[in-house]
Amino acid sequence: MAGGGGGGGAPAPKADEPQPHPPKDQLPNISYCITSPPPWPEAILLGFQHYLVMLGTTVLIPTALVPQMGGGNDEKARVIQTLLFVAGINTLLQTLFGTRLPAVIGGSYTYVPTTISIILSGRFSDEPDPIEKFKRIMRATQGALIVASTLQIVLGFSGLWRNVARFLSPLSAAPLVALVGFGLYELGFPGFVPHVLKGGKHVFDRFAVIFTVAIVWLYAFLLTVGGAYNHAAPKTQSTCRTDRSGLIEAAPWIRVPYPFQWGAPSFDAGEAFAMMMASFVALVESSGAFIAVYRYASATPMPPSILSRGIGWQGVGILLSGLWGTGNGSSVSVENAGLLALTRVGSRRVVQISAGFMIFFSILGKFGAVFASIPPPIVAALYCLFFAYVGAGGLSFLQFCNLNSFRTKFVLGFSIFLGLSIPQYFNEYTAIYGYGPVHTGARWFNDIINVPFQSKAFVAGVVAYFLDNTLHKDPTIRKDRGKHWWDKYRSFKGDTRSEEFYSLPFNLNKYFPSV
């Protein structure tokens, strides 16, 4: 643990006394960092593994939303293809022009409550045709996403988020990043966890997802064709069979998603404001996920201008989601951030290859649908591992803080506790009554208040940020917060390694210099 802050005149330790582990601003023991790609065969396999991991969220969100919108298997397959296609484009844009971190940009659960509010709004109840109702709801979601994208675009490219990020310290980052991972515990354990493959060679560690998914999916497929689930309960069949999703039959062989494929977007001011708040919550969560990604990619801390640039490009990603009609916004994939830790490969090229797989299999629908038929329990079992890694990455920032300081203990403990307690209250209230604690006649206003308080990472991050920057600020506290460790990364030119990791390609830094 680093930092003084009221440590007093402690005597120098004796030579034979145990010493604390020295803090590391770059994570050691990473096999391949951002700029050191693995050999092509290994990189292709690792990229395919990232594609498999991001499929979970890509399939689960449309599977939950499309039937409520009135769509069938055909519409569900097209939405999944579209979400996959846009995710590939957004990931390429982020790795080329955004933060340049190996971050996968995919769908986000943060936007789901607002989308459900649009589905339940009364203006679609008069449509008798379910397919036409689906298209109308999708067009309304598109309009809300297009407007909401302006928030991140403006905050990112104007540099406003850079000014916010400059006040971030390791102490306030720790609860934010920790609950970006740990806060998703509800998605992790549905009652099925596959065995973990272990072996003496790196191949079992580095490609554990491919081995695990292949073995368990094949096992589930054999049980399905063998009739083992024929007389099982409906819930068991829906989660364990490999042919229940209806994707393989419904997916076309070849189809290229295109903008406005559902028709011209429709706009509603209330829904746009509600989606804008969901976008802001996703912005905070993605900031924490970006921090976890740079840590596991063995890069130096991100200069605030780089984080702001990445948020701007994520806003462009939300705009593309609205134009193409994915029914969901974009944010950093937390599970793929955890995969970086599992494989110890933080190469940018690997994630760019995975983006190629996303685009390729979104166009070749039948092949992509085969991989998308992986039963949900397999996905949830993988989440247990990936979200735990991301949460632990957040706790690792405490190495820069003085944990003997009572101020540090209060900021850390209070923010994490409220980050778990407040969303628990809001979620339980919603589960019991069918609506959130804020319940007025304006559904969009309810979402503006309820959605932020349902996000554990958002609540913990905001509370920690506020307390860390307002509570007992004096020069001696600076080291307790770990702020002195990040001083040289406040500007892009403060450390020579920032240019190696974060500079734009094609000599674009000359025309778009980072501050």
Q: Render pLDDT for 122-160 as a digit per residue (tens, 0 to 9).
A: 788 888 899 999 999 999 999 999 999 999 999 999 999
pLDDT for residue 240: 66
- 225 domain residue, yes or no: yes
pLDDT at 2: 45
Q: Structure pTM?
A: 0.89
pLDDT for the residue 275? 96
- Residue 172 clears pLDDT 60, i.e. is over it: yes
pLDDT in tens, 318-338: 999 999 999 999 999 999 999
Are 194 and 216 contacting, i.e. CB atoms less than 8 angstroms apart? yes
Q: Is residue 448 part of a domain?
A: yes
Number of domains in the chain: 1
> The domain containing residue 189 runs over which residues?
40-503
Q: Each residue of 48-91: pLDDT tens digit?
A: 999 999 988 888 899 889 999 999 888 988 999 999 999 999 99
Residue 8 lies in a domain: no
Residue 344, in any domain of the structure: yes
Which of 394, 344, 30 is CA-nearest to residue 181? 394
The whole-number average pLDDT for the span 30-47 is 93
Give the three-class secondary structure for 107. strand
Domain assignment of residue 282, yes or no: yes
Cα–Cα distance between 461 and 347 in angstroms, integer? 28
Let me know if residue 203 belongs to a domain: yes
**7 occurs within a structural domain:** no
Q: Is 301 left (phi over 0), alpha (psi -120 to 50) or beta?
A: beta
- Assign 3-class secondary structure to 12-68: CCCCCCCCCCCCCCCCCCCCECCCCCCCHHHHHHHHHHHHHHHHHHHHHHHHHHHHH
Q: Is the confidence at residue 193, as pLDDT, over 60?
A: no
Averaged pLDDT for residues 234-263: 75
**Which tens digits make up the pLDDT trace of 385-408?**
999 999 999 999 999 999 999 999
Round to the nearest angstrom and report the end-to-end CA distance of the chain. 30
Residue at 62 is within a domain: yes
